[in-house]
């Protein structure tokens, strides 16, 4: 081997470039921002004829709102607040659309759940679920309360008056910032409400 070739080999060896058999993990490829549905994504819910609504789903262990278009029941003689609440409840029961699922959204509300209005003796604005609210998973109740609280289904005080099918008095539930951050915890309430003659 000539001196020139030998010098060239030594030079290349000293430049710091070495082969390696250790795989380099550069991390996953960039993906859609979690808990954010692309505005260009047209979900099956938004293809239906209806009115724009906002519902709360669970994403990254928190409550996050998504916009949908809900179909309002048209039963005659049913209070408009009950119809709005039922439409929102129906949306919460739906599995997230593919874009929502890809963004990390999930729902804990499982049907069938049916709503009725206040009974005789209930405070005005009471909504009665076909299941006792406290028997629902904490995340499901948090979804329902926060969705109702920011809609026409809320009582005038901003709280949500919910009861079940039994004779237990309704309770006033509140959608707090804390429950949005930790929906797996108990939803804050104002306790059982006294009977009222406001409902017929």
Q: Average pLDDT for consecutive 10-residue bins of the chain (200 residues)?
A: 45 47 47 68 50 95 94 68 93 95 96 93 94 96 96 81 93 94 91 52
pLDDT of residue 9: 42
Cβ 160 vs Cβ 119: under 8 Å: no
Polymer length of the chain: 200
Dist CA 200 CA 2 (whole Å): 108
Q: How far apart are the first and last CA of the chain?
A: 107
Burial call 125-154: b when 16+ CB within 10 Å, e when fewer: bbbbbebebeebebbbbbbbbbbbbbbebb
Give me the pLDDT at residue 153, please.
84
Give CA angle at 131 (125, 132), nearest 5°.
Answer: 70
Q: What is the pLDDT of residue 159?
A: 87
DSSP-derived 3-state class of residue 105: strand
Q: What is the pLDDT of residue 183?
A: 96
pLDDT of residue 194: 54
For residue 50, the model assigns a pLDDT of 78
- State residue 79's pLDDT score: 77
Q: Other C-beta atoms within 10 Å of 87: how many?
A: 21
Decide if 118 contacts 124 (C-beta within 8 A): yes
Backbone angles phi, psi at 44, to 5 degrees: -55, -30
CB 37 within 8 A of CB 98: no
State how far the Cα of 68 lies from the Cα of 30, in Å rounded to an integer: 26
Cα gap 81→154, rounded to integer Å:
8
Give the whole-angstrom CA distance, residue 87 versus residue 172.
Answer: 21
Give residue 32's pLDDT. 54
């Amino acid at each position: 081997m000539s001196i020139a070739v030998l010098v060239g080999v030594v030079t290349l060896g000293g430049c710091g470039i070495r082969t390696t058999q250790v795989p380099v993990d550069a991390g996953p490829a960039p993906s859609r921002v979690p808990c954010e549905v692309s505005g260009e994504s047209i979900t099956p819910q938004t293809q239906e004829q209806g009115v724009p609504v906002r519902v709360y789903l669970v994403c990254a262990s928190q409550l996050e709102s998504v916009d949908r278009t809900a179909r309002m029941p048209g039963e005659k003689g049913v209070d408009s607040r009950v119809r709005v609440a039922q439409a929102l409840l129906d949306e919460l029961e739906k599995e997230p659309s593919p874009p929502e699922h890809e963004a990390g959204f999930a729902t804990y509300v499982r049907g069938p759940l049916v709503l009725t209005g206040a009974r005789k003796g209930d405070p005005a604005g009471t909504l009665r679920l076909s299941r006792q609210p406290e028997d629902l998973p904490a995340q499901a109740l948090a979804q329902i309360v926060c969705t109702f609280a920011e809609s026409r289904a809320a009582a005038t005080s901003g709280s949500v008056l919910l009861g079940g099918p039994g004779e237990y008095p309704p309770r006033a539930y509140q959608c707090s910032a804390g429950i949005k951050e930790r929906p797996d915890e108990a939803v804050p309430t104002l306790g059982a409400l006294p009977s009222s003659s406001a409902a017929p």
